[in-house]
Structure 1
Amino acid sequence: MKKGILFCGMLTLFLILSCATNPVTGKKTLALVSNDQIFPSSFQQYNTFLKENKVITGTADAKRVETVGMKIRAAAETFLKAKGNTDALKGYAWEYKLVDSKEINAWCMPGGKIVVYSGILPVTLDEAGLATVMGHEVSHALANHGQQRMSAGLLQQLGAAGVAAATGSQSAETQALIMQAYGVGSSVGGMLPFSRSHESEADEIGLKLMAIAGYNPETAVAFWQRMAAKSGGGKPAELLSTHPSDETRIANIKKQIPVAKAEAAKYGVTFK
């Protein structure tokens, strides 16, 4: 038990010293791994992915991805500069690639490496829909969600080690049951809500970015409604999902639209 108490004390001190301020939200977040460590690996994985998949170039769709990506990037720079966080994009190396895939998806790796799958274009329909997607994905990178998720994963491992230390005097069977309970509890009670909060945060920031870039944030509602129709109700229950339910997401976005418009107005961008 003493080992467990000592471990918990050391872990608490470690966590206090491992917090960082989110450059976008101003919140204190976990940062057990620095972006200086994450970015090189991210860039390498991105390049490997591009080599192993078909990148679409020279088409109107590829040009649209590039155009929207640059507008969202400019909006992000404007947004962060206004918040006094001019160093927040240090080390970013932006890229926007359209990849041939039927999958309805897009993603942004830490450091600004973006991929849009061609399968999502029929759902985006136009630049505004694409800006909704890319604004959301870029927001994950700006808010250092990759860093936070890696840190949470490390914390989960450290927590498991702490549980093992605290229950060392128990039988092997009892320890196994406790560890199993910890694994389930930390995932459902910790990691999954953590991921859902990231998705909601990326929605909120993404709306502001697309608005600053000149795209009416009201169009985001129609995009997510189209995405919901594509899912056909096949998603898992919200409690066990890394994403908010369609209903929750759309309701939250509707509430955030006036805030996004007000943010854009600060930079002279207004909508009728």
Structure 2
Amino acid sequence: MLRFKSFMMAAGAAILITACATSPTGRKQVLLYSDAQLAQSGAQAFSAMKQETPISKKPVTNQYVQCIADKIIAQLGPNADTDEWELVVFESDQVNAFALPGKKIGVYTGLLNVAENQDQVATVIGHEVGHVLAQHGNERMSQSTLIGITQEAVNVALQTNDVAQSGPIMAALGLGAQLGVALPFSRAHESEADLIGLDLMSKAGFDPRQSVNLWQNMNAASGGQRQLEMLSTHPAPETRIKDLQANMGPALAQYNQVSNKPNCRP
């Protein structure tokens, strides 16, 4: 019983020291880690990526992606110094991109085969930068920490009370944590990053309507080979398109106010 109380006290202490925050869309968050910790982790991961993955040496490709990223970064307020951000184009068939705490952006050349124009590339870069702005990495790490503490506390409670089926119960709890907490939170992060990215790209003068075209292209490129939405960390393309269309009015209004539209060419 003493061991169980110790774990419960540890879990309680972790929750008490949790920093409560609000995302750019107004969603409540639990953040346990500092910006400095996340920036250091992001820089280390990015450095490893540059050592493990070939980097594009094509000036035209690099200039094209850098042009788009600079326009997005310019909308970031206090973080709008493009010189502080590092962007690398990686030679890979992956249809993807990412952004990391510490102001790091990576784009795979495979994305440029699916994103047909500057506006569609801006959709993806805006989305990935949105993850950083909303501190989704911090939130996921914090969530994992708290789930781990809670599961260990329950495991101790089961052992202390001699529950015969503690193994199956813990397995079920782990699955429940994934389906009930971790995966829905991940889908919430993706949807939130979509909306932040839509806002950033439209403010930068990229056509927000192309975000819908991008996800139509993504869906076609997948060939329909994807998991059920309930068991996926990402919303289905149809869901993303519906959410983007529902928020298109304000984005289009912002886009139409931009007089000097970007002209980034591959």
Q: TM-score, normalised by structure 2?
A: 0.88
Letter in 2 for 1:51: Q
| Secondary structure, counterpart of 1:260 in structure 2 | helix
Deviation readout 1:29-64 (Å, 9 max, x if unpaired): 111121211211210220121122211134211111
1:140 maps to 131
For residues 1-272 of structure 1, what are the structure 2 equivalents within 5 Å? 4=4, 7-8=7-8, 11-12=11-12, 14-22=14-22, 24-77=24-77, 86=78, 93-171=84-162, 173-263=164-254, 268-269=257-258
Kept in 2, the 8 Å contact 1:53–1:100? The answer is yes
Deviation readout 1:125-144 (Å, 9 max, x if unpaired): 11111100100000001110
Deviation readout 1:236-256 (Å, 9 max, x if unpaired): 110110000111111111101
- How many pairs are equivalent? 259
Q: CA RMSD in A?
A: 2.4
Kept in 2, the 8 Å contact 1:212–1:264? The answer is yes
Letter in 1 for 2:67: T
Kept in 2, the 8 Å contact 1:22–1:144? The answer is no
1:83 maps to none
| Secondary structure, counterpart of 2:160 in structure 1 | coil
**Residues of 2 paired with 1:9 and 1:221: CA distance?**
48
Q: Which moved more, 1:93-102 or 1:243-252?
A: 93-102
Letter in 2 for 1:269: V
Deviation readout 1:197-236 (Å, 9 max, x if unpaired): 0000000000000000100101110110000011111111
Letter in 1 for 2:176: G
**Residues of 2 paired with 1:18 and 1:93: CA distance?**
29
**Residues of 2 paired with 1:270 and 1:13: CA distance?**
52
Kept in 2, the 8 Å contact 1:19–1:28? The answer is no
Q: CA deviation at 1:13?
A: 5.3
Q: Which moved more, 1:1-10 or 1:64-73?
A: 1-10
**Structure 1 unmatched runs, 5+:** 78-85
